[in-house]
């Protein structure tokens, strides 16, 4: 199970990685902070997307999409209830019943 790091910690690590010297590798920075190189690379890509320098979905867009999916599911359920109610009520109003 992966550790959860605070946003401040991630921002500090990304800042150090972006401002690293010529001979310093990402692996060295990751080792200094006690994280994996893969995590550091992922954080750097995510920071590039958030800054707008790379195309991708930002955290706020991802959150908005999640909320919109929930709302869509609820509206689809409400629509299904209304469709069934309309079908039931139309059956009750047929002549001969």
- Tens digits of per-residue pLDDT, 10-62? 999 999 999 998 889 999 999 999 999 999 999 999 999 888 888 888 888 99
User: Which residue, 36, 65, 59, 35, is CA-closest to 47?
Assistant: 59
- Would you say 10 and 40 are in contact if contact means Cβ atoms under 8 Å apart? no
Distance from C-alpha of 72 to C-alpha of 3, rounded to nearest angstrom: 33
Q: What pLDDT, on the 0 to 100 scale, is given for residue 96? A: 65
Distance from C-alpha of 90 to C-alpha of 97, rounded to nearest angstrom: 12
């Amino acid at each position: 199970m992966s550790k959860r790091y605070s946003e401040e910690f991630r921002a500090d690590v990304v800042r150090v990685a972006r401002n690293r010297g010529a001979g310093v590798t990402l692996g060295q920075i990751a080792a200094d902070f006690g994280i994996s190189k893969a995590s550091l690379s992922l954080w750097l890509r995510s920071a590039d997307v958030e800054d707008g320098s790379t195309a991708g979905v930002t955290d706020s867009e991802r959150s908005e999409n999640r909320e919109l999916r929930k709302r869509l599911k609820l509206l689809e359920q409400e629509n299904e209830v209304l469709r069934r109610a309309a079908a039931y009520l139309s059956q009750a109003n047929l002549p001969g019943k």
